[in-house]
Amino acid sequence: MKVTRDLFNEVMVPNYNPAAMIPVKGQGSRVWDQTGTEYIDFAGGIAVNVLGHCHPELVAALKEQGEKLWHLSNVLTNEPALRLAKKLTDATFAQRVYFANSGAEANEAALKLARRYALDVYGESKNQIIAFNQGFHGRTFFTVTVGGQAAYSDGFGPKPGGVDHVDYNDLAALEALMSDNTCAVMMEPLQGEGGIIRPTDEFAKGVRALCDKYNALLIFDEVQSGVGRTGELYAYMGLGIEPDILTTAKALGGGFPIGAMLTTTKIAEHLKVGTHGSTYGGNPLACAVAERVLDIVNTPTVLDGVKHKEQLFRQGLEAINQKYQCFSEVRGQGLLLGCALTEKFAGRSREFLVAAADEHLMCLIAGANVVRFAPSLIIPDEDIKAGLSRFERAVAKVVNG
């Protein structure tokens, strides 16, 4: 069978519009398409391929588990899941783990747990969930409703209720909405899809204090910011506060689908037997790979490397901006970086992405005004330099028309 991009239009639901080329092979931070053209990968599968493509240790973990045991369901537990849960709890504030298959599912579990906890402990009226404009929490109906982008949640009929939104980094607005009826506040400790926006220290600490004041749970969605992305294992570790519930996915599997919700024993108790579940959650293949990802990422070598590579990116991007004056700011943290476009280029992030692809560089956008990079955490310095010179050629093309 001849597989072409045209086949996509014939057989796939049209909810995506992928690039013209079809990748067939990846190694480290390089990808090759059907014609053998090589690309440098600054996109990392949207902050997923945290150790690049086909990392030998992840391939080994997958093969090893693949010859032992693939699936059991949650009628039985398994060794990789228990080992991974132990390592996640040892490495974080959490004492309990629930496994899912994606970020949205981990968030769905977090939201349902928060609602159940509030119902059990405080009663029915404590059900308000507050989240932030431009936030992103996934595409299930509950999570997309909690996400702060109406464009994603509108058009599917009546939404789950009890959900309110305020602006990110606006503590006064949050305070004005909160009361004893607030069940949970859900936030990304570094907004990803919404434009790569960091919380101020004051805001992060203020949110924690308000949650304490009103007995509301603080849910950190670390689906994009977690697993080393910011140079900390989880972004909360750099903010000097702890959430009550944390969700993690994307990079956790390094390219194999897995998600997890982490919380404390006291809160976890409220998801009693039968209250929630997932057929594939805690799948041995996924957990075996994720265990290896965590072993490798949660080391000073990789985490300090992220901070070093962030500097390389920033220096390179600032140098490009000196010449072309198209970014108002290079923002973000670690290897989740965004180039915010100036007024002159407002709304044109996709043009930069397309021009980059023409120069054989894969990057991302975060809305219409931000070009986003989320490469492998171990991308070689030479690939950063080579990729940035491709990016410079792309920027030149857009700027010079």
Ligand X SMILES: *Cc1c(COP(=O)(O)O)cnc(C)c1O
Where is the binding site for N(2)-acetyl-L-ornithine, in residues?
Answer: 139, 278
Nearer to ligand X, 136 or 373 (CB): 136
Nearer to ligand X, 221 or 232 (CB): 221
Alpha helices (H) along 67-200: 79-91, 103-122, 141-146, 150-153, 171-177
CB of residue 356 vs ligand X: minimum separation in angstroms? 21
Nearer to ligand X, 193 or 359 (CB): 193
Contact residues: ligand X, CB under 6 A: 102-104, 107, 136-138, 188, 192-193, 221, 223-224, 249-250
By beta carbon distance, the residue nearest ligand X is: 103
Nearer to ligand X, 306 or 320 (CB): 306
CB of residue 107 vs ligand X: minimum separation in angstroms? 6
Alpha helices (H) along 12-55: 44-47
CB of residue 389 vs ligand X: minimum separation in angstroms? 29
Q: Where are any strands of DSSP class E within 113-256?
A: 128-132, 163-166, 182-187, 217-221, 245-248
CB of residue 194 vs ligand X: minimum separation in angstroms? 9
Nearer to ligand X, 246 or 395 (CB): 246
> What single-letter amino acid sits at 327?
F
CA separation for the pair 162, 136 (Å, rounded): 17
Nearer to ligand X, 251 or 320 (CB): 251
Closest CA to 194 of 96, 338, 324, 313: 338
Name every residue whose Cβ is closer than 8 Å to that of residue 159 and which is 6 or more positions away in sequence. 141, 145, 153
Nearer to ligand X, 16 or 67 (CB): 16
CB of residue 51 vs ligand X: minimum separation in angstroms? 18
Q: Where are any strands of DSSP class E within 175-282?
A: 182-187, 217-221, 245-248, 259-263
Closest CA to 283 of 158, 51, 105: 105
Q: How is 304-318 classified by DSSP, letter by letter?
A: HHHHHHHHHHHHHHH
Closest CA to 117 of 278, 277, 265: 265
Nearer to ligand X, 16 or 322 (CB): 16
Name every residue whose Cβ is closer than 8 Å to that of residue 314 and which is 6 or more positions away in sequence. 330, 337
CB of residue 386 vs ligand X: minimum separation in angstroms? 27
Which residue ranges make up the annotated binding site for pyridoxal 5'-phosphate? 103-104, 136, 221-224, 279
Closest CA to 24 of 6, 3, 44, 43: 3
CA separation for the pair 301, 164 (Å, rounded): 41
CA distances from 269 to 29, 96, 117, 248, 263 (A): 42, 9, 9, 20, 10
